[in-house]
Amino acid sequence: MSGTLLIDGKPVSDVEVHFLNPEFPNHGSFGVTDEDGNFRLVQGAVPGQNTVFFSKINAAGMDMDPESGMDAGQFAAMSTGNEQNPNVKKMEISQLIPPEYSSSNSKLTFSVPDGGTSAAKFEL
């Protein structure tokens, strides 16, 4: 199962793509866009109507070294609960995807055919 994501008509890299079939809530599918906006779901997707949502975290002021093995979302989660600690550097964390498309409550859906498809295209 693969496809393309465009935001304002342009491809965006490193966006998490999530497919969730409500009949199988514990079997979500996940992929990440490349520099051309293309994604491939790692384990395919459950056939049928799926809720689709996206995530790309911006953590301003954070040095994102790809060799660290952590992404912006992991750093954001790590900083949660440290608000009272004066030794923890404060990060400006924001979701770059519009809220209506960035949670499992998204109204965006895609009907996954048996056998999947390579033609899933989303334009936000």
Q: Select the more confidently predicted residue: 47 or 70.
A: 47
Q: Work out the percent of the chain whose per-residue pLDDT is above 90.
A: 65
Q: Which residues of 96-113 are buried (b: 16+ CB within 10 A; e: fewer)?
A: ebeeebbeeebeeebebe
Residues with Cβ within 8 Å of 27's Cβ and at least 6 positions away in sequence, in order, are: 21, 46
Residues with Cβ within 8 Å of 58's Cβ and at least 6 positions away in sequence, in order, are: 72, 92, 93, 94, 95, 96
| pLDDT of amino acid 57 | 87
User: Whole-structure pTM over 0.95, yes or no?
Assistant: no
pLDDT in tens, 73-92: 565 555 555 556 665 555 56
Alpha helices in 1-124 (DSSP H): 72-79
Mean pLDDT of 11-40: 96
Surface-to-core class of residue 25, CB atoms within 10 Å of its CB (0-12 exposed, 13-18 middle, 19+ buried)? exposed
pLDDT exceeds 70 at position 12: yes
Mean pLDDT of 30-40: 98
List domains and CATH numbers for the chain: 1-56+96-118 (2.60.40), 58-95 (no CATH)
Surface-to-core class of residue 92, CB atoms within 10 Å of its CB (0-12 exposed, 13-18 middle, 19+ buried)? exposed
Give the separation between CA 3 and CA 122, rounded to whole angstroms: 8
| pLDDT of amino acid 88 | 56
**pLDDT-based confidence at 116, cuts 50/70/90?**
very high
